[in-house]
Amino acid sequence: MERNEIVQYCMDSLKKAGADKASCSLSMSEKKELNVDSGEMTLLRTTFNTGLGLSVIKDHKKGSTSINKTDKNSIDDAVAEVMKLADASQPDEAHDIAENQPPGKFTKGDEFADLDAMYNRMEEFVEYVNTNYPTVKLEQAVMDFTHSKGEFKNSNGVDFEISEGMYGFSPYFLSKDDKDTSSMNGTGFSALKLHKPLHEFCTIDTLLQQSTEQVRTQPVKEKFIGDVVVTPDCLGDFLGFITSDISDGKMITGNSLFKDKLNEQITHPGLTLHSKPVSDEITDGYFITADGYVAENSIIIEGGILKTYLLGIYGSQKLKKQRAVNDGGAYMVEPGKISLNEIIKSIDKGLLLARFSGGNPASNGDFSGVAKNSYYIENGEIKNPISETMVSGNIRDMFENMGEISKDRVDFGYCVFPWISFKGVTVS
């Protein structure tokens, strides 16, 4: 069966099985992958993936399942299973599906990979690292191109087709100098075209340089409270503490720090955060939400004021609040007015925080974690790379006490972030 026939067969089968409301999503993708391991190109392969998701509501009870096969027997089994799951669940009138919208076809990127470009760019990258950073050991680098075609239908008449082609690249590396070794580091980006050398994308070249410096680190001499400059590679971890708090889970349980803060100040006025899944400014966005709505761009925080919660259908119905126009992600932070160098010069004592490893904040916003691949700042200068050290604070206080946002920003394809300084963070 063709993709549209598969989805239609699913919808007809779910209706015959007694579903009051139903939705079906199908994704078929082809991935071309080129790998480097220990500095050598080792693998070029093609993989195919299929994902078929079924969701039903019957008597206000919901069931969902997914399979990776599309033959009729497998679909029939999945239909029977999802109806059983719905029957066994608790009724909840907040369950619903997207209402009718005009049919849509969405396209982004190329259908076929440029294999020559993939190989040449990867070969060029390995040579660049070996030549310019001889102490860097390229443990692994993965280049891929994924073309996916998708279908989404529901019983309200929603009917979407999606075709996307995207390159991705993720290098992981460390440095060795005699017996000294840096910790592992890495980053990644998404792109529609491989139009420039790989080291020129996002922060790759900066991190390679820093890796050579981080083979010999120094411990932080004493506990202190100071300023922490969070890098673009690390900023998503901290913004994620906010965005998870305004999403379905914590909002429904009532554990969100911001549950009653819509249209109120929740951060320093300098912060404006967008979610731009359908903007040309974000390469790797998305066209439709998980619930089956056409995605729209939104402003999540504007001048420090919370402008929207990230609630899906269920969360919005449960809480009697407005549904978000997207699923979040594709984040972009508005730039500040001063350079990163100027931010560094303004700091008496603090850290340049390049990697953060820590759990979710407590219910009151307290957090702690380990600073990795980071630097000590004193008297307006970056002094030295530091050994792994603890960083702690309160996420709400941290964003209320923001310092400066850099005018410099980094485009990762899936987000665009600046450097941001935060005051009053404990380093121990």
Please report, for the chain, the start and end positions of each structural domain, with discontinuous segments joined by +. 3-213, 224-427
* Distance of alpha carbon 363 from alpha carbon 257, whole angstroms: 7
* Distance of alpha carbon 398 from alpha carbon 428, whole angstroms: 17
Q: What is the pLDDT along the chain (428 residues), one digit of tens a residue?
A: 899 999 999 999 999 999 999 999 999 999 999 999 998 888 899 999 999 999 999 999 999 999 999 999 999 999 999 999 999 999 999 999 999 999 999 999 999 999 999 999 999 999 999 999 999 999 999 999 999 999 999 999 999 999 999 999 999 999 999 889 999 999 999 999 999 999 999 999 999 999 999 999 999 999 999 999 999 999 999 999 999 999 999 999 999 999 999 999 999 999 999 999 999 999 999 999 999 999 999 999 999 999 999 999 999 999 999 999 999 999 999 999 999 999 999 999 999 999 999 988 999 999 999 999 999 999 999 999 999 999 999 999 999 999 999 999 999 999 999 999 999 999 99
Q: How many CA atoms lie less than 13 Å away from 107 in the CB half-sphere?
A: 3
Dump pLDDT digits (tens) for 220-250.
999 999 999 999 999 999 999 999 999 999 9
* Distance of alpha carbon 191 from alpha carbon 378, whole angstroms: 37
* Distance of alpha carbon 208 from alpha carbon 171, whole angstroms: 10
Q: What is the pLDDT of residue 365?
A: 95
Give helix then strand counts, H and E, for the chain. 9, 22
Number of Cβ within 10 Å of residue 98's Cβ equals: 23
Helices (H), 288-371: 313-319, 340-345
Query: Phi/psi of residue 138, each to 5°?
Result: -80, 95
* Distance of alpha carbon 50 from alpha carbon 417, whole angstroms: 33
- At the topology level, CATH places domain 3-213 in PmbA/TldD fold (3.30.2290)
The DSSP code sequence of 32-100 is EEEEEETTEEEEEEEEEEEEEEEEEEETTEEEEEEES--SHHHHHHHHHHHHHHHHHSPP-TT---PPP
Q: What is the pLDDT of residue 4?
A: 93
Helices (H), 199-351: 204-213, 232-245, 248-253, 313-319, 340-345
Residues 6+ apart with CB under 8 A from 341: none
Query: Phi/psi of residue 364, each to 5°?
Result: -90, 0
Q: What is the pLDDT of residue 178?
A: 87
Dump pLDDT digits (tens) for 330-362.
999 999 999 999 999 999 999 999 999 998 899
Q: Strand, coil or helix: what is 316?
A: helix
* Distance of alpha carbon 242 from alpha carbon 395, whole angstroms: 8
Q: pTM (2 decimals)?
A: 0.96
Q: What is the pLDDT of residue 43?
A: 85
Q: What is the pLDDT of residue 39?
A: 87
